[in-house]
Amino acid sequence: MRLARAQALAGALALLLCAASPAASGEPARVVLVRPGAADPSISEALIRIRGELVADGFDVEVLDAQSASAPRPTMDDAGQQAGSAALIGLFLAPDGQAAELWVVDPRTHETLVRRIDTRGEAREHIVEVLAVRAVELLRASLLELLMSSQRAPAPAPAAAPPPSKVSEQVPRQAEQPRVHASRRSTWGVELGGGLLASPGGIGPALLLVARLRFAPIGPLEARLSFAGLGTAPRVVGPQGSATVQQRFGLVELAALPWPELRLRPRFSVGLGALHVAVDGEASWPYRGVHSAQWAFAADAGAGVELGIVRRLHVVAEAHALVAHPYPVVRFVETEAARGARPALLGSLSLVGWL
């Protein structure tokens, strides 16, 4: 859903700007974000996030600082004289601090749309995120509306004075405003990395490949299909010989991100699955080494942190504790040399790409 909205925003803005300046259609579309003089910190940070959304979609975005903290109308008029043919976007905080106004100006017809963003009832620490997310949603609708209006209206003559600005203000009801608290760009993600698996006091450490498929239908919750294996085989040495141990496991996990609005956010997970252990033994005469393999039920609990690097790429570091039943045991004759997954500890570092 987020990807489709971003594509719609990109398409509407590109068509609008191409209609305004056909000669520049081969270059990145130019957009000017107007920052009011002495702007509230929440407005400045929200504009930075909006700029990031537009830059990620391939637009040439410029931030223009207004010379004074005047009302929105004169501020946008002054900015229009400096911006030329670029589309103008402004975000202004209401005097009571309970709402903000998003201004969008069509550079071709000078038509202006004003949309109100109500922030009453929102926690102060979420104001910036609410402003940025709702502004992008309303920006998409405003650009589409301006595009349709500009296609219906004939282009003004070059020598004619610009027509008077028309302002249409729409105040969406609070019940209809979207509330999005996750920064994720898609519900599907692919994760790939490496991990170190060890059983304290038992089977030694092994480097494993870690791969996961993610599905995140709800902001703070996600399901994962995880696999770890195809790595090194630690050696266990006993009085009658030695053995190499190969380990791999697969899990179905449920993960929670209790603070999805943070850039560096903690995550917690639980999972169930299966552990496979294969042992290749080498014995001293008169004993004989054997190969054996065992499947076991596995349960896992983990915690970690996830850091967003760019729009669709995150880094994840996690620590897991995995237990198996029955747990694997390496024996030489009747002597137990090592045991595993009681519990086994896994530390992993991986990259996540959101599709």
Q: How many residues are given for the chain?
A: 355
Distances, alpha carbon 90 to alpha carbons 23, 29, 39, 275, in Å: 26, 17, 11, 56
Q: Which two tokens stand for residue 277?
A: 């252990």
- Asked whether residue 167 carries a pLDDT value surpassing 80, the answer given is no
Please tell me the distance from the alpha carbon of residue 234 to that of residue 205, in angstroms, as a whole number.
6
Say if CB 46 and CB 36 are below 8 A apart: no
Q: Average pLDDT in the 335-349 region?
A: 87
- pLDDT for res 144: 62
- Asked whether residue 246 carries a pLDDT value surpassing 70, the answer given is yes
- Model confidence at 1, pLDDT cuts 50, 70, 90, reads very low
Please tell me the distance from the alpha carbon of residue 15 to that of residue 314, in angstroms, as a whole number.
32
| 212 vs 241, more confident | 212
- pLDDT for res 39: 66
Strands (DSSP E) found in 41-111: 60-65, 87-93, 99-105
Strands (DSSP E) found in the chain: 30-35, 60-65, 87-93, 99-105, 112-118, 167-170, 188-198, 206-218, 221-229, 235-238, 241-256, 264-283, 291-310, 313-325, 329-332, 335-339, 344-354
Please tell me the distance from the alpha carbon of residue 94 to that of residue 117, in angstroms, as a whole number.
10
Q: What is the DSSP string of 164-181?
A: PP-EEEE---GGGS----
Q: Which among 274, 277, 52 is positioned nearest to 183, based on CA atoms?
A: 52
Q: Average pLDDT in the 144-160 region?
A: 54
- Model confidence at 169, pLDDT cuts 50, 70, 90, reads very low
| 141 vs 280, more confident | 280
Q: Average pLDDT in the 117-137 region?
A: 72
Q: Which among 319, 324, 312, 320 is positioned nearest to 354, based on CA atoms?
A: 312
Name the least confident of 39-43, 178-182, 220-224: 178-182
| 272 vs 120, more confident | 272
| 202 vs 333, more confident | 202
Q: Which among 169, 195, 56 is positioned nearest to 102, based on CA atoms?
A: 169
Beta bridge partners of 297: 274, 325
- Model confidence at 125, pLDDT cuts 50, 70, 90, reads low
Please tell me the distance from the alpha carbon of residue 246 to that of residue 292, in angstroms, as a whole number.
11
- Asked whether residue 5 carries a pLDDT value surpassing 50, the answer given is no
- pLDDT for res 172: 45
Please tell me the distance from the alpha carbon of residue 223 to that of residue 70, in angstroms, as a whole number.
49
- pLDDT for res 99: 77
pTM of whole model > 0.75? no
- pLDDT for res 145: 65
Please tell me the distance from the alpha carbon of residue 308 to that of residue 280, in angstroms, as a whole number.
42
What 3-state class would DSSP assign to 111? coil
Q: What is the CA radius of gyration of the chain?
A: 29
Q: Which two tokens stand for residue 314?
A: 């995150």
Please tell me the distance from the alpha carbon of residue 18 to that of residue 30, in angstroms, as a whole number.
10
* pLDDT tens digits, one per residue of 47-94: 787 877 777 766 777 887 776 656 777 777 777 777 666 677 877 777
| 130 vs 4, more confident | 130
Contacts of 212 (CB under 8 A, 6+ apart): 190, 191, 192, 224, 225, 226, 227, 350, 352
- Model confidence at 174, pLDDT cuts 50, 70, 90, reads very low
Q: Which among 157, 246, 172 is positioned nearest to 209, based on CA atoms?
A: 246
Name the least confident of 175-179, 193-197, 217-221, 284-288: 175-179
Most confident segment among 174-178, 270-274, 291-295:
270-274
Distances, alpha carbon 24 to alpha carbons 27, 28, 55, 217, in Å: 6, 8, 17, 40
Distances, alpha carbon 338 to alpha carbons 34, 283, 328, 354, in Å: 67, 16, 9, 40
